[in-house]
Structures are given as structure tokens and as C-alpha cells.
Structure 1
Amino acid sequence: MATPGISHSSSAGSSLTFEDYSLYRNLNDDELLQLAIERSLIETHGGTATTTISTNSSTTITTKSTITQLPHRHDSNLNPSSTNRNKPQTSSTQNPAAVQTGAHYSSPNPPVEKPPDPKTFVGTMSRFMTGSGKRMVAYYKADGTLVHIAPEPEEDEEPLFRAIREGDSSRVKALAMCPGTNLMLPSKPGWLAVHQAAWFGQEACLRMLLIAQPGMINNRASHGETPLFAAVSRVQLECVQLLLENGADPDIPNYEKETPLYKACERNNPAIVAALLNYGAEVNTSCTQGWTALQEAGGRNNVEICEMLLKAGAKHNVRNMYGIGPLFTAAQNGQLAALRLLIKHGADVNTQAADGATALYEAAKNGHEKVVELLLSQNADANKPGKTGLLPLHIAAQRGSDTIASMLIPVTSKARIRRTGISPLHLAAERNRDDTLELLINAGFDVNAQLSEERSRLYEDRRSTALYFSVINNNIDAVSMLLAAGANPNLDMFKPLLVAARINCIQTVQLLVEHGADINAGIPTHPTTFPAVYMFSMKYLPMFKYLLDHGGHALSCFDCMHGSQSHPPIKIRRSNWNHDSDRILPGMLQRTGVQFCEMISAPSISRWAGPIIDILLDYVGHVTLCSRLMEHLDSYSGWSIIKEKAALPRPLMHLCRLQILHLVGRRKLKKLPLPGSLIRFLKHQLSLDDN
């Protein structure tokens, strides 16, 4: 009997869903039915739902009905873990809502005992599932009145197919031998009684059917499966043997070109594979995607099946649609035993997929250490790249596989690495693989290796060194490790020091400065008349002062092309930079670059103008403040003292300090035979007032 197809379209909050009923999973079926009936008969309907019922007569009935929605409950009584399932609770404690509305079976339209016929019923049908998994259906009239609610009727099953499924051989024999029974009549597209018997492993029933109608032994069902294929799919060995003995063709595939032998390898069953091979099954047939039985067995590491297939003539060099052979699949999946067997039978350890990846590359990518060790012991080439141009060592560094990387380092050509345009150090630094990074540094890899132009263009900031990757990841340990190994902090177009200042990491800034980072470097794409690093550090005054203490230029900050004259208005335009202080740069670019007075006028920085100018004055001699800087100092009365500080002439002690620093240098101050307080003054650690 065909089951009517039903589609629902309901307004929000009115449809009956599985989740609503699952909230009442602790009720038994009788209590749930009673609750649903009570609510449908008594409570106000929550909304309308459109239900379409398709019947066998090819007519479609579309009506609107009201469907009651059970309220969501969150109390502990509805939690399966807190409910004693072996002791039913009373409705008074389990379902308080049910107590409020008693059953009124004297209503004008009480439910009928016999469910309506779905083929002839005029109205709507709502399907749902109880908490115990039972499928239910509710019948409603056009006005929304509940007619009946009951378990969903099961499809009618032909007597012969039911008897086969239940293993009733005497019943099957009686039906099969009955003159009125047509054994070639399917229960569903192409599914004959012989398929049913093979699928459910009913050997006795299958034997009777083959005696009654031997001609259907190789018939194919809707997906092209034969009875033999069905038996193999369900691992029914006795039925497989019976079918083969009665002439079943072992090489008829399904519509995906999967043969019974391929399916037996997929099911990992050596006994069925042996039975099929004994009856001459073809071993090198490929499925739609090009997989053979050997490739499937190798991918599942079943050495017993692989040995049988190889003895039967299976070829280990057949490739699927992706150019992948059995050895590649075994290496990719880490199947060591199958890999050994294939190598023993002559499989090529340097086999490559269509995209160029080798078995060694795939094993390294998937972290199969034993497989990598085996392949290298068989002289697998570690210098063949994958489709991205990366070598197995690159992939090991990217994954942080130290053991695999240590095996690959001795057999990987550094010249070949250079030709790839990227060092394993870059990938280890990018993924924060500190242990692998240390391993590569100790192995002698160049810490100053730079990305090729092609690979550098893949990054918007045009980064080029491993140090840059570590700085932008804020990985202080990796930064320290690379700098200690001799990494140059000035090779990237956008200097790592700028990145460290931008993310406000003072530790990284100190490490970079100590190892020679150029504090006064600029940005080619955003030229400024002052050190570019100030753009990212002016709001963090301790860092700003640290940079000035260690050689940052201060005089350029007071060099303004407009001087005491009025400045043109600043055109502010947003850019793609994330930092607030950078958003005005593109609109202010001139031939000479952005001036300091323009930069400090950015809305996010201008409120810091006074303290910034105050710090800068400690590092310059006689300077004249331009009209814009004066405007900033005049904007707040508390900054008037800064204007006095800038007035000429500057104090002699301050000018002497600048001259001594210029002649001696900060690093040699400790060697001067001067008192400690004076040394601290020269280092800007004490002010004039303190002295």
C-alpha cells in the first residue's frame, strides 16, 4: 500500500514539531495520546497550517487546519536523566498542564476508533514522532476538528516478501510453488524475491526460489545490484556461496560499476573474497571513480585480502580518476602492513597523484611517522613537490611533526628548497610550531631566507622573512629564537618593529631594538617626514619614550614646511588600515610625506598631543613649534607649561646632555667616570628638576 505524501507549510509558533513531542518523552504512548487529544479538543488553537495530501488517485487535497502546539517545558521532570523510566509517574506530577484540562469525550466530535482511509480521507493529516520513537498521525477535518490520532499505518508487504524476511521457509515454498505466484514481479523497482532472500541471508528460502525460478539469479534491481551483490553487501556468506554454485555471474556490477568483489573488499571480508575469486571474479575491474578491489583492500590494511588479489593477478599500478594507485592510498591512510606488501610486490614508492603529490608527501601531510620511515628506507624521493610546490619537509614543518621533519631534513636538498621560494622556517613560524622551528634552526636553515616575489605577493603586507611571521603572531619565544640565531630585523618592506609597535608588544619591540632594528625606518607605501614607528606608539607613551631613548629621531617631528603660517585643512579619509591612528594617512600624502603635526592632529591622537610634545622636547635642542602644534597646546590650559618648556633659549644642562649623547652614544654612557645620578640624567631617567 502506498503511503500518502504530505507536505506542511505553517505559520511560526503553530506547527507541530518533533521537538515539541520529544519534550514529553517521559510519557508513555497512552498518556501522550490522551494529552494530544485533550489539547486538540479543549485548548485554543495556536495557528493555521496548510497540509497537502497526495493520494493514489493522483488527486491533491490542500486545506487549512489548526494545529495545537504543546508548550515547551524545561522542568526537571522532563529530563530523561532525572526520571525513573521504570516507574511511571502520575499525571499530577509529570504533566501539570494536563490536570488543568480534563478529558471531554462528550464533545460533539469525539475521536473514532478506526482510523480513516488515507486514500479517501478529506481533510488534513499531521505526522509526528513520540519520545519513544513511534510514528504517529493525526487526522483533522477542514475546520480543524480532530477526527483520529493513531500510530502511522505501515506499508503493506507482499506475503512472499514478508515470509522471506521472517525466514518462514515452508510459507515461501508454498507461495513459490503456487501457480498464481509470479516470482518475477518486484516489490519495488527491480527488487525480486531472490534479492530479498539474499539481502536477509535466508539461505533456505533462496534455495527454494532458485529451484522455482532459476532464471532470475542475475536480475538487477533499481541500482543495478544483482542478488549476489545484495548478499555481498550484507556479508551473507552462505547466500553468496549458494548463488555462485547456481551460476551467479561474479562480475556484474551495480550502476556505480562496483563489482561484488569490490564490495567484498569494502566490507573487509576475506571469506567472501576467496569465494568470488574461486569462481573466477575479475580482479582489475574499476568502479566509476577508478578504484579497484586491491586499492580498496589496501586502504583498509587487509593484508590477507591483498595477498589473495595479488596472487589472482591484481595490478598494483592501476590508478583511479585522481591518478592515485593502491600504494598511494595505503600511504595516505597510514596502512603500514598493506604498504609493505605492495612494496614487496614491486609497487613504485615514488608514485605520484595527478596533482604531483607523492606517497611520501601524503604520509607526511597526515602525520604517519612509520609510513614515512618505511618509504624513506625504500629510497623514496623527498624532493618531489606537491601541487602547491611544497616538499614533504615543508608539510612536516607546517604540521609541527618534529619526528617526520627530523627524518626528512637529511634527505631534502636545500637547493631544491630555495627553488620552491619558501623555507620550512616560514611555515613553522607561520603556524607557531616552535619546536619544529628550533629543530630547523639547529639543522642550519637560513633564518634570513626570504619568500620569493611570487609567494610574497600572496600576502597583502608583502612579508618576506620568518621573523615577520613570528612578530605578527606575537610569538615572543619564536622571535627571541630567530633573533638569537642571527635573524635580521630590517629585511621586510614593512618592518617587524612597526608590526610589534602596532600590536603594542613592548617585549618584542625591545628584542628587535636590541638586535639592531631600525627605529627610524619609513614605510614605502605611506611616506612620513618622521620615523614611521611613532604612528603606532604615540598613544603608548612608555614605548614612545623607549624608542626615543634608543635612537629614535625627534628633531624631524618639529620640521614643518608651513612653520608659523596657517596650515591647510586636513582631508581625512578612511583607509583599509585597522589602527585608528592610520586612517588619516592616505588623505594627507604629499610629495614630502605626512608631517608630524598632521599626524598628531588625528582625532584619536590629538588628545595626547601635549604629553607627546612634552616628551619630544626632552630629545631636541632649540626648535620652533609650528602654528598647528601651538594650536594643540593652546587647546588645553594645563599644557601651557609645555609652551614655556619649548621657549628659547633651552636650558644649558639639557643642551649639554644632547651634545654628550651625540658624541658618546647611549651604549657607552656607562663607561664614563661620572656619578650614577648624572648617568641617569644623560639617559633621560632623571629630569632637570631632579638634579
Structure 2
Amino acid sequence: MDFTECYGDTVSSVAAAARSGCWRRVRRLMKRGFSVDCRDNRGWNALHEAAAAGSLQCAQEILSAVGGKKGCNSYVNSLTHEGESACYLAAERGHLAVVRILLKAHANVNQPTNDLSCPLYAAVDGGHEEVVQLLVSKCAEVNGTHTASCWTCLHQAVYKGHSEIVRILVNVCNLEALDDHRISPLFVAAQYGQQECLEILVNAGANVNTQAADLATPLLIASQEGHQACVDFLLDHGADPNIACSHDWPQLPIHAAAEFGHIGVLRRLVAVTDRACDRGDGMVSPLYMAVLRHQSKSVELLLREGYSPDAQDCTHVLDLRSPLSFALSHTSNKPYSESVRLLVAAGASLSEEDWVHALATDKTDLLQLILEHRWISQPETLTRNCSAPHHQGKTTLKPQELRELIYVALNQVRFAACWLPLLLKAGLEPSLLLQPEMLNQADSEVLNYLLEFVNWSTLSPPLSTILDRRRTEKTWQPCPHFDSIICLSHICRLQIRLLLGPDLLMRTSVVQQLPVPSPLHPFLQFKDIPEPSYKRSPS
């Protein structure tokens, strides 16, 4: 665009000709006395136009015309309103020949712009290798900072991935120059996945374990961003995967890889990271970070590699008790997340808080999941402290887990129609639930269902008293046969269950091995009893 049309009173014809590269016209206009220093609305003069356009001949004509005049040096270094010199404009656009003649005319090689840039920084940013080589040879300041973030030319060359320029600069620059966050050029290479630049810096002697102001290392940031090649190179060249990378808690690169689901990186870090992070006091298992971001593949890999599904109690570090509790508390729309499934399948311990998630709801998905992977132990194990055995690949509930299950169940009687059939079919001893809380609060269907699994005629006097009261108050409508003499067939199946154990009877094929007709099998497993239906309480 010819600014003489819009700004005829400020833009010289010489500048317009220089912008077009018409050196003969520039010469004619100057001979006729037209000014070379008239500026446009941007503060640009004819030399700025020639430099930006890369017009060597126009620049030569202008410099020749002013070369013998007073103030020539001032003219060569005159600045636009943005603080840009002709040398800066030429370097920014990669016009090597123009930069060379401007330097011969004593252009200031280090003249800063308003935004703290300079000719060398502009050439680096643009990837103009030959211009960079020239400016460096002319003693341009290579370690100055040129942005609000205090980046050097080396930071910018690495960020842009100009590897050949990095090769030039590593011979003259401070490899450990830090920006305002104490980030080095090597850190930048790791952060943005500039592998070739990273290799050049490491081979030149840059510190692979440098730490930023927040203690992050190049290995941590490369792991976070998922730059597999950079992670591999750093580890192969001395990067320490066990340096704590946070002021708040001992974060390691493995945490970053797990959190952002970079499986290849995570697999590499698992092999070299100290396992103290798994269960060590004051540490944080990477499982927590995987659960935080719902990275089920990270959870699966860590569990497969032997990381404990229980990890360590991080209440005092991150206010997290266990990975499973964390996963359950962060489950959004689904009844349970894939992370929950993986943790339960891996044998994660169940706390009272976890049982609340499973029982204090009319949805049974989580409870069904737990029962797929847990074997309900016999009542006598409640008094034992020994390790629970395994049955058919399932982990037996520990005594503490069973006690907490019963405690939560008795406090969530309003949902008993949902969880009671599942628990009894899974082999829970029904007598554990024959407690005043249950008999006082359960609705008729639920109470009748529970009583069908016991000898209702032998209840203790206190429990019988509760049932009598509820019958009188008409808050319980018992099954008609509860008033009759108990059937011999029912007594027999109670005895068989006692001998076999409710867990084996209800969850295995042992009943099929008994010397009884096959039509009796459903009866012996209590399948003839209709399940109660859940009734929502009024708001």
C-alpha cells in the first residue's frame, strides 16, 4: 500500500520508492531534494522502508546520500515509534545483505526495541541462521534478556526449534541462563518436545537436572507433556527421576506421567523410580494422580506393575485417605468409574466411607462390583486378626471390613431392599443383621425377607419384643406362615447352610454335589423367596 495516498503530508516519496525497491527513483528523488527522513504515522523513514523490504540497492543509495552529512550515525540508528531500527527490521526479515551494510554504516547491533527485543533476538525468532551468525560475529550481546519473561536468544531459539541456530548459540551463550521462573533453555526444550535442541544442549554440557522456581525439572515437564523421546534421552543422560519437583509435596516425574495418561512415559519411569513413592510415609503414590484425572490406563499399568491399590494414607499431605476413597468421591455421572473397578479388582481395602458409597443408595452397581471380587467371610472371622484367604480368585473381606460393612448396613436400613438380597445371596450370615436397628426400621417386605433366612421361631426375647410391638402398631405385616410351626424343610436347609457355610452354599456349585434331587437345589439356596421392592421415602 502506498502511504503517500493516505498520508501525503508525512510520507516522503523517497520512502514509498524504497518500499517498492525502485532504487533509480530513490536516486532521482534525492537529487531533486526530497527528504530521506520524513516519517509516516508509524515513525518509519526511507531507510526503514528499504531495510524492511530487503532492498539492498535502495539502502545503499540512501546511505550514500547521507554518508557524508552531519548526523549520519544518528540517522542510521533512528527508531520507529515501536523502537525498531533499520538493522532490526532487516534482521527480523532475514535480509542478510542489508544487515551487513547497515553494520558497516555503524548501526547499533544491540539497539533494543520498546518490547525489549533486539536485532539478534529478532533474527533468532525468525530462524534466520546466516543473520544470526553475522550478528554474533559482530559482537552482538548473546546473553541479554529480551522479553517480559526474561528470555534470552537461546531460550527463543530452543522454543522455536531452530536447531542450527542453537548450535551457533551454545558456543557463545550461557547454557544455564534463567528466565523469571528460573527456567533454563534445556527446560524449554523438554517442555516443548524439541528433541534435537535438547540433545545439542545436553551434549554442550547443560545441566539435565536443573530446577525451576517451583522445583520442576526438565524430566518432570517432559513427562507431563508426554514427550517420550525427550524423556528417554534425559534418562539416558543422567536425569534423576527421584528428585522432588514441588514445594508442596514430593512430586516426581512419574506422578506427572500418571496424571496425564502418558503410558509410554509412565512405563519407562516405573522401571527407574524409587518404589518408596508407592507406600512410603510422607510420599504420595502416583495412583492418586491417575485417579485424579480419571486416567484408567495409568491406574491399570501401575497396579499391574505392583503398585499397591491401598497406597499410603495421604490425609496429612493431600487430605486423601486412599486411592479407592478418592476415586469414589470423584465419581461423576456413572455409579462408579473404571478406576474404581480396577482398584476393587486389585484388592483395595474397603473402609466405612467406601461401604457408605455402596449401600447408601438405591443403585447397586458398586455393591455388585465389590461382591464380584470379594468373598464374604464367616462370622467367626470377625474375632480373628489373621489374613483372610482367597476363594476362586476373590479376596476375602478382612474382619475389619466385614465389621464396617455390618455397621454401615445397619445405618442404611432405608436402602435395605436394594442391598439386602445381594448380600444374602453373596453368603452374608443373616444373623449378623438381626439387630434392633434392623428390626425397628426395616419395612415389612425387607423384614420378612430377612426372617425367611433364619429360624424366626428362635429369636431372642429382645428381638421378639420388637416384632410384637411392630405387629401391634401395624408397622409390620408378617408373612402368614410366621405364625405357624416352622416347616421341617426350612429347618433342614438352615442346617445344611450351617454345615456348608452360607458363603459356599450361596456362591458355589457345592449344592449340586449333595445327594438330593436337583429340583431341591434352588430351595436349598433360598431362591424361592421373593425379593423386597425398594420404595422411595417421600421428600
Give me the TM-score of the superposition, normalised by structure 1: 0.61
Displacement, 1:314?
Answer: 0.9
Displacement, 1:468?
Answer: 6.1
Check conservation: 1:519, 1:551, Cα contact below 8 A: no
Distance 2:517 2:318 in 1: 51
Q: Deviations over 1:244-279 (max 9, x none)?
A: 221111101112222211111111110110121222
Match of 2:25 in 1: 171
Which stretch shows the higher mean deviation, 359-368 or 218-227?
Answer: 218-227
Check conservation: 2:291, 2:299, Cα contact below 8 A: yes
Which letter maps to 1:240?
A: V
Check conservation: 1:521, 1:532, Cα contact below 8 A: no
Check conservation: 1:228, 1:250, Cα contact below 8 A: yes
Query: Is 1:414 aligned to 2:275, yes or no?
Result: yes
Check conservation: 1:429, 1:470, Cα contact below 8 A: no
Pick from 482, 489, 495 the counterpart of residue 349 of structure 2: 489
Displacement, 1:218?
Answer: 0.9
Q: Any residues of structure 2 matched to 1:555-566 within 5 Å, and which?
A: none
Match of 1:521 in 2: 404
Distance 1:632 1:219 in 2: 101
Displacement, 1:499?
Answer: 7.0
Pick from 144, 162, 165 the counterpart of residue 285 of structure 1: 144
Match of 1:680 in 2: 522
Distance 1:411 1:499 in 2: 41
Distance 1:307 1:513 in 2: 60
Distance 1:550 1:159 in 2: 93
Query: Is 1:239 aligned to 2:98, yes or no?
Result: yes
Check conservation: 2:82, 2:114, Cα contact below 8 A: yes
- 1:490 aligns to what SS in structure 2? coil
Percent sequence identity over aligned pairs: 28
- 1:686 aligns to what SS in structure 2? coil
Match of 1:162 in 2: 16
Distance 2:434 2:48 in 1: 92
Match of 1:447 in 2: 309
Which letter maps to 2:20?
A: E
Match of 1:661 in 2: 497
Label 1:411 to 1:629 Cα distance change in 2 as closer, same or farther (>3 A). farther
Displacement, 1:329?
Answer: 1.0
Check conservation: 1:199, 1:234, Cα contact below 8 A: yes
Label 1:502 to 1:374 Cα distance change in 2 as closer, same or farther (>3 A). farther
- 2:230 aligns to what SS in structure 1? helix
Which letter maps to 1:661?
A: R
Label 1:163 to 1:648 Cα distance change in 2 as closer, same or farther (>3 A). farther
Displacement, 1:651?
Answer: 4.8
Check conservation: 1:265, 1:293, Cα contact below 8 A: yes
Displacement, 1:687?
Answer: 4.5
Match of 2:410 in 1: 531
Q: Any residues of structure 2 matched to 1:152-551 within 5 Å, and which?
A: 155-157=6-8, 158-160=11-13, 161-179=15-33, 181-213=34-66, 214=72, 215-287=74-146, 288-311=148-171, 313-387=172-246, 389-417=250-278, 418-419=280-281, 421-455=283-317, 457=319, 463-466=321-324, 469=327, 472=331, 482-483=343-344, 485=346, 487-491=347-351, 493-495=353-355, 498=358, 503-505=363-365, 507-514=368-375, 515-517=395-397, 518=401, 521=404, 530-532=409-411, 535-536=414-415, 538=417, 540=418, 544-551=420-427
Check conservation: 1:229, 1:260, Cα contact below 8 A: yes
Which letter maps to 2:451?
A: L
Which letter maps to 2:480?
A: E
Distance 2:467 2:420 in 1: 20
- 1 or 2 for the larger relative contact order (CA 8 Å, sep ≥6)? 2
Distance 1:391 1:455 in 2: 15
Check conservation: 1:497, 1:533, Cα contact below 8 A: no
Which letter maps to 1:162?
A: A
Label 1:632 to 1:557 Cα distance change in 2 as closer, same or farther (>3 A). farther
Label 1:619 to 1:155 Cα distance change in 2 as closer, same or farther (>3 A). farther
- 2:205 aligns to what SS in structure 1? coil
Check conservation: 2:327, 2:339, Cα contact below 8 A: no
- 2:522 aligns to what SS in structure 1? helix
Q: Deviations over 1:308-365 (max 9, x none)?
A: 2233x21101111110111111111222222122112211111111100011111111
Displacement, 1:545?
Answer: 1.0
Check conservation: 2:428, 2:503, Cα contact below 8 A: no
Match of 2:380 in 1: none
Label 1:456 to 1:272 Cα distance change in 2 as closer, same or farther (>3 A). closer
Distance 1:596 1:186 in 2: 95
Label 1:427 to 1:406 Cα distance change in 2 as closer, same or farther (>3 A). same
Distance 1:651 1:208 in 2: 119
Match of 1:56 in 2: none
Q: Deviations over 1:268-295 (max 9, x none)?
A: 1101101212222111111232211112
Displacement, 1:520?
Answer: 6.1
Match of 1:581 in 2: none
Check conservation: 1:534, 1:544, Cα contact below 8 A: no
Distance 2:82 2:468 in 1: 85
Distance 2:359 2:326 in 1: 8
Which letter maps to 2:166?
A: C
Which stretch shows the higher mean deviation, 343-352 or 654-663?
Answer: 654-663
Label 1:496 to 1:303 Cα distance change in 2 as closer, same or farther (>3 A). farther
Check conservation: 2:439, 2:447, Cα contact below 8 A: no
- 2:316 aligns to what SS in structure 1? helix
Displacement, 1:444?
Answer: 2.6
Displacement, 1:619?
Answer: 3.0
Check conservation: 2:186, 2:201, Cα contact below 8 A: yes
Distance 1:548 1:629 in 2: 25
Which letter maps to 1:226?
A: S
Which stretch shows the higher mean deviation, 282-291 or 472-481?
Answer: 472-481
Distance 1:237 1:492 in 2: 73
Distance 1:174 1:218 in 2: 24
Check conservation: 1:490, 1:496, Cα contact below 8 A: no
Match of 1:27 in 2: none
Label 1:325 to 1:687 Cα distance change in 2 as closer, same or farther (>3 A). closer
Distance 1:184 1:664 in 2: 106
Distance 2:176 2:129 in 1: 22
Q: Deviations over 1:8-65 (max 9, x none)?
A: xxxxxxxxxxxxxxxxxxxxxxxxxxxxxxxxxxxxxxxxxxxxxxxxxxxxxxxxxx
Label 1:630 to 1:252 Cα distance change in 2 as closer, same or farther (>3 A). farther
Displacement, 1:192?
Answer: 2.5
Distance 2:80 2:321 in 1: 60
Structure with greater proportional strand content = 1
Match of 1:104 in 2: none
Distance 2:316 2:433 in 1: 37
Distance 1:482 1:206 in 2: 72
Label 1:314 to 1:679 Cα distance change in 2 as closer, same or farther (>3 A). same
Structure with greater proportional helix content = 2
